[in-house]
Amino acid sequence: MWAAPAALLFLFAPAADFQAEGLKALEAKQYERAAQLFTQAVQADAKDYAAHFHLGLSYSLQGKDAEAIPEYQKTLELKPGLYQAELNLGMLLLRNKRAAEAAPVLEAAVTAKPGEFRPRWYLAEALYAAGDFAKAEQHYQTACGIDPKSAPAQLGLARAQAAQNRIPEAAEHFRAAAELDPAFRDSLLELAGLYEKNGQPAEALAIYEKFPENVGAEERLGELLIETKRFAEAIPHLEKAVERDATPANRLALATAYHLNKEPAKALVQLEKAVAAEPASYDLHMQYGRVLRDERQFIPAANQFMAAAKIKPESKEAWNELAGVLTLGEQYPQALAALDRVRDLGQEIPGNHYLRAIILDKFHQYKPALESYQKFLAMSTGQNPDEEFKARQRARIIERMLSKK
């Protein structure tokens, strides 16, 4: 990986035995010993750029980037334009997420050897990491010309073009990378994600279908099929994902597919297991509660909405759902308490007043019931025509009853 050709290793004539011994240690891959020897060389002559270079190389080969970087910098201070030091320093800076610093160093290396693949590719990587996608694209293009069989260069070019929202061009290079090296086949999943973001679900589906062995791809394929309302088609893919690696997320996706495909019993099984695996998930409790509600299992649904409300006490959605199923389950005092919570949050909607009116009406609390019916009618204004009709009829009856007292 590191630039250290034999010609460079013996270019310098070491004046002290520890330099000669250091070179031997490097050749023998005794990197720690080499570092010790070149440290002594630097101490003996701080201006010996060869000693600084080989000390940096010794650290690099041990993965001690923090120690290697200043040695390469010192080398270039003493010997500007030393290609091997520029390349190694640029690679280290890039690896340590210092792309902006790496780019000018690597540009110098490219200038020194414009026909070499490695400095050109690393420069493209640094420019991409620094956010200069157009310039990175140029260098990736050149790198591909130098080595047409380089999958990393093709992938880098694809990403640079994608970052500039040129998905059709990028797609060609994503596919080229996958064809050149099977290890890069998964990069097609990255392309699928780009297709999704670009509003091209059919193209994304076509890619996901090529990865039946990939649990994540199967899961995403199923979710996309749900989004495109192909619920029955989604189910086998999501079943496979759950079978191979069950997670709360893919159980939820499978439950959603079952529910939308009118298979509620199967949906409830998956939701029960998902909630058991992740009891602190607000979204899971809410979804479980909704399916239970749709199956008219009002009290079990209330338990799920209550759990969700405990996780997010400020969620008007959870409290509203809770009030609704408690009302349907004829748990009126508890439903009123849930409605009070929504009111305290300052987020009442027309339906809250309607539910409150119904409950108060059942308790023969006619005056506050009438007030709630009237608030509902004032807020709803045609949004809920059936309920508005019932509210008007009941309000007239209550008004007559109250006028006789």
Which pLDDT tens digit goes with each residue over 259-313? 999 999 999 999 999 999 999 999 999 999 999 999 999 999 999 999 999 999 9
pLDDT digits (tens, 9 = 90+) for 57-73: 999 999 999 999 999 99
**Can you give the pLDDT at residue 17?**
83
Assess if residue 381 is contained within a domain.
Answer: yes
> How far apart are alpha carbons 383 and 350 in whole angstroms?
9
Is residue 388 one of the residues assigned to a domain?
A: yes
Tell me the per-residue pLDDT of 202-220, one tens digit each, with 9 for 90 and over.
999 999 999 998 989 998 9
pLDDT for 1 equals: 67
The confidence score (pLDDT) of residue 404 equals 78
CA distances to 225, 256, 294, 297 from 290, in Å? 21, 11, 6, 10
In angstroms, rounded to a whole number, what is the distance separating the alpha carbons of residues 32 and 30?
Answer: 6
pLDDT of residue 25: 95
Domain that holds residue 368: 349-405
Beta strands in 178-334 (DSSP E): none
Residue 392 lies in a domain: yes
For residue 405, being part of any structural domain is answered with: yes
Does 28 fall in a domain?
no
260 within domain boundaries: no
Tell me the one-letter amino acid at 25. Answer: A
Q: What angle do CA 218, 223, 226 make, to 5 degrees?
A: 130
Evaluate whether residue 374 is within a structural domain.
yes
pLDDT < 50 regions, the chain: 5-15
Number of domains in the chain: 1
Specify if 179 maps to a domain: no
